[in-house]
Amino acid sequence: KVKIISGVCAEGTFDAINQAKAAEAAGADGILLMPPHLWLRFGIKPEGALKFVKDVAEAINIKIFIHLYPSNTKSFYPIDLLLEMCKIPNVVAVKMGTRDMPLYERDVRILREKTPETTLLTCHDENVLSTMIQGLDGALIGFSGCVPELITALFKAVQNEDLKEAKKVNEKLFAAAQGIYGIGEPTGEAHARMKEFLVQRKVFTSPLMRPPLMPLNQHEIDVVTKALADSGVEKVNLV
């Protein structure tokens, strides 16, 4: 059975609870709880962030994955706060999006020591291999929707400690990532390129994005086409 984890992105507790309850009612196995994006600019007291997660957790009976935002944002949860969140009974996983490798390496080790039952998943679409080799339990990334066979093959190689195979798969993955992210992080424009990638793989019928995101120009489409070819993945003809 495929597990369904529904993203919850709300600007406050009440809306987050409503979204989480709707996901549960629809049959989701869990939610990916993002911090309110208001915090990106204004921040939040640690006790406020903890209460936010507790309140949502108490309102539902399904699992919660914590989405850890980058360390250079005001929505980042420092390790002491994250450990407190992991004590909440239905918090079972962390989507690790630290995007600061020394801090990431340290925090993964602390989480493994202090809360070994918590599932740790890389969030680093643009550099999956280098954030998976710490022994993570998998990946929870939008990019995997474009090339699931490569992400799966990479994870298996890492689990088997087969560096040669992991590097081989990563070369294909890097080619795809270059066409979508370049050397940047996920953005709205990157999501537009992901949709174009999926159109060219015959998964989606349209690359349409909701305004104000702009359609890709021909040069951007050509970059995606090259990335698809260089990655070696085949069209799947689902549409």
Provide the pLDDT confidence category of residue 183 given band limits of 50, 70 and 90.
Answer: low
Quick one: fold of 1-123? TIM Barrel (3.20.20)
Structure-block tokens of residue 178: 């270059």
Q: With 70 as the cut, is the pLDDT of residue 186 above it?
A: no
16-53 per-position pLDDT tens digit = 999 999 999 999 999 999 999 999 999 999 999 999 99
Answer whether residue 187 shows pLDDT above 80.
no
Taking the domains of the chain in order of start, what are their residue ranges?
Answer: 1-123
Q: What pLDDT is attached to residue 1?
A: 78
Closest CA to 88 of 112, 118, 116: 118
Per-residue pLDDT reduced to its tens digit, 58-110: 999 999 999 999 999 999 999 999 999 999 999 999 999 999 999 999 999 99
pTM of the model: 0.94
- In this prediction, residue 2 carries a pLDDT of 87
**pLDDT over 90 for what percent of the chain?**
91
pLDDT at residue 185, rounded to an integer: 64
Q: Which of 28-32, 175-179, 199-203 has the lowest mean pLDDT?
A: 175-179
Q: How far apart are CA 156 and CA 138, in angstroms?
A: 9
pLDDT of residue 31: 99
- Identify the pLDDT of residue 146: 95
Q: What is the pLDDT of residues 106-158, one digit of tens each?
A: 999 999 999 999 999 999 988 999 999 999 999 999 889 999 999 999 999 99
Confidence of residue 184 (pLDDT cuts 50, 70, 90): low
Q: Mean pLDDT of all residues in the chain?
A: 95
pLDDT value of residue 103: 98
Given this model, what pLDDT does residue 126 score? 86
